[in-house]
Amino acid sequence: MDIVGKIIRIDLDIYVINIENSSKIITAKARGNVKKQGNICVGDKVIVKKVDLDYMIESVIERKNVLIRPPVSNIDQMIIVVSIGAPVPDFILLDKQITLCFAKNIIPIICVNKIDLVDIDKKAKEDLEYIKNIYGNLGIEIVYVSAKEGIGIENLRELLIKKTSAFSGNSGVGKSSITKEILQKSPERLEIGNIGLKTKRGKHTTKSVNLYTISENSYILDTPGFSSYELYDIDHKKLREYYPDFKNSKCTYADCVHVIESEEVCGVKRDVLNNKIDKGRYERYVYIYSKLKEKYDRRYK
């Protein structure tokens, strides 16, 4: 009988799999031809058969998406954590993360952490309002939490049900503190302990990513790993497609990238001047565009 499951950890050639719609965990090996088709990665949905006493991965179900850093597939949503104080929000990083989500078919959710600082810090309040206005208007869901005070954690936890979610954000925003709270408040979470963990010369060799099962078919990725990354797999000419705020602007040329042309012909530039598009969002777009173009121009050098 075929079993469908999700890979939650890989340790050398042992795959730790959470069987779909259950709290059962098995370890399996993979057939040579399956391994050959491309690396199997954490997040993959696989079909497993029992052969004698062992489980064997027969095939990998087509992926919805795959990320390279860290290597993980089938991410449904990215919880982009920003903190409104120590460290202050990095809006370039935020925009890059949102772009990556749109490019990879991942739902972005902004998680504003450290809201306990709002009443004592004026800048924190301003940043909070900015995020609410600008990103809320893009249709992005925003949750407000304080890992320190345990505020909003339950709201966030509800958004994770029946999804595979990754946390991202720069160092110090509170990713570990939040995931710790989430795990603590998830009584159904599965403990995988040392299952599958192979040791080499007595040392744990696992450096790979792990998915935590917080409840049936609900997973969170343990590694942040997405800190100050470079955008990959994104064509500078396509960057504009990942900006819903530019969708209603009317440019004279259909292929306008909103950087080179003047406001006479570029509707986006006009809308920035008319305050229909946030100036900060636009300026960061130009910056990210120029970095992607630089990378493109350098590619054969």
Ligand X SMILES: Nc1nc2c(ncn2[C@@H]2O[C@H](COP(=O)(O)OP(=O)(O)OP(=O)(O)O)[C@@H](O)[C@H]2O)c(=O)[nH]1
Q: Which is nearer to Mg ion, 5 or 85 (CB)?
A: 85
Task: Using the structure block, give the residue that is written with the tokens 């990959």.
Answer: 232
Interface map 90-129 toward ligand X (x if CB under 6 A):
-----------------------xx-xx------------
Return the residue of 17, 268, 277, 292 that touches Zn ion, per CB under 5 A. 268
User: What are the counts of helices (DSSP H) followed by strands (DSSP E) for the chain?
Assistant: 8, 15
Binds 18: which of Mg ion, Zn ion, ligand X, none (CB < 5-8 Å by kind): none
262 interacts with ligand X by CB under 6 A: no
For residue 11, list its beta bridge partners.
14
Q: Which of residues 49-78 bind ligand X (CB under 6 A)?
A: none
Closest CA to 64 of 124, 107, 125, 8: 107
Q: Is 74 helix (H, G, I), strand (E, B) or coil?
A: coil
Binds 266: which of Mg ion, Zn ion, ligand X, none (CB < 5-8 Å by kind): Zn ion
The answer to whether the beta carbons of residues 8 and 18 sit under 8 Å apart is yes
> HSE-up of 26 (CA within 13 Å, CB side)?
20
Q: How far is CA 288 from the centre of its chain?
A: 18
234 interacts with Zn ion by CB under 5 A: no
Q: Which two tokens stand for residue 272?
A: 């920035």
Q: Which two tokens stand for residue 20?
A: 């779909």
d(CA 57, CA 27): 10
Binds 174: which of Mg ion, Zn ion, ligand X, none (CB < 5-8 Å by kind): ligand X
Return the residue of 224, 245, 258, 281 that touches ligand X, per CB under 6 A. 224
Binding site for Mg ion (CB under 5 A): 175-176
Binds 189: which of ligand X, Zn ion, Mg ion, none (CB < 5-8 Å by kind): none
- Contact residues for Zn ion (CB under 5 A)? 251, 256, 258, 266, 268
- Contact residues for ligand X (CB under 6 A)? 113-114, 116-117, 146-148, 169, 171-177, 224
